[in-house]
Amino acid sequence: MPELAEVEYYRRQWNSGLGEKILRVELHPKVRIFRGAKPKKILSSLKGSTFKNSFANGKQMLFVFSPHCWLGVHLGMTGSLRIEAVDFLPKKHDHLVLFQKKTALVFSDPRLFGRIRFDFSKEEPAWWKALPPSLLSKDFTASKLGAIGDRFRRTPLKALLLRQDLFPGIGNWMADEILWRSRLHPSKKGGDLSPSEVRTLHRETRFVCSQALRIIGKNWGDLPPHWLFNHRWKKGGVCPQTGVELKRETIAGRTTCWSPAWQKLS
């Protein structure tokens, strides 16, 4: 599933169409990605509108069209955004295509776990305003992280990090990376964090988010070889720090990778 950095990369794909009018809209009105979005309203409102701006928050994206059109996109597990030539012919899984003068903005989702939202109003949609603040904002502090641990005392850290209402944009690989860099076992409970561990977890959460956005979010670049990401799925993969073989287990319903020599459960 696309995570914070991948979502940012896909948002940037459509930005090549900023400032241009939408001349034609094609969509598959009956697919479930449009649940609650009223496809007919999308067709009538976006045609003739101008692409003004775009934003990302965690795994959510918001595209702004004038006048007063707000298009929300969640990629789900297999969704993606891309650019095609203006004479592009939509395929089976291309469920929304916005044609402009020089290009076509395409949303594709083979497994239909994504979602399209649409609002027509002068103000930002209520669902967007209700999203939690970015993990890179001043609102995400070590104190707030400590309070989360106290509130969910019996919850494994891996499960906590995957909660989008608390850690927007963090998914499976980012959660494993953060915990590995923090030297915290994924099964450790939120209430068992020491003050120093809270500070470390806060620092590494912000570091992984910022670097992933810089490297992946910008141009889908490769993460440094010393990151866990490059070793977590290799057969016989070893910890970049210790050289000890990595371990994998299902935690919080997700396949989790960690280093038993580096992330000890105390």
Q: What is the DSSP string of 24-87?
A: EEEE-TTSGGGTTT-HHHHHHHHTT-EEEEEEEETTEEEEEEETTEEEEEE-TTT-EEEEEETT
What pLDDT, on a 0 to 100 scale, did the predictor assign at position 227?
97
Q: Would you list the domain boundaries of the chain?
A: 4-129, 142-258
* 12, 217 contact by CB (below 8 A): yes
CA 217 – CA 54 distance, rounded (Å) = 14
Rounded Cα distance between 203 and 21, Å, is 42
pLDDT at 169: 97
Per-residue pLDDT of the chain (266 residues; tens, 9 = 90+): 899 999 999 999 999 999 999 999 999 999 999 999 999 999 999 999 999 999 999 999 999 999 999 999 999 999 999 999 999 999 999 999 999 999 999 999 999 999 999 999 999 999 999 999 999 999 999 999 999 999 999 999 999 999 999 999 999 999 999 999 999 999 999 999 999 999 999 999 999 999 999 999 999 999 999 999 999 999 889 999 999 999 999 998 889 999 999 999 97
Please give the pLDDT value at position 252: 82
Identify the CA nearest to 258 among candidates 149, 155, 183, 160.
183
What's the DSSP call for residue 169? T
Q: Whole-angstrom Cα distance, residue 150 to residue 227?
A: 29
Amino acid at 56: A
With CA atoms as reference, report the closest residue to 91 among 100, 73, 82.
82
Instruction: Provide the CATH number for the domain formed by 142-258 in this structure.
Output: 1.10.8.50
Q: What is the pLDDT of residue 131?
A: 96
Domain 4-129: give its CATH code: 3.20.190.10
Nearest to 4 by CA among 171, 182, 228, 157: 171
Q: 213 with 206: CB under 8 angstroms?
A: no
Looking at this protein, which amino acid is placed at residue 72?
G
Q: What is the pLDDT of residue 55?
A: 97
Instruction: Determine the pLDDT at residue 266.
Output: 78
pTM of the model: 0.94
DSSP 8-state code for residue 110: S
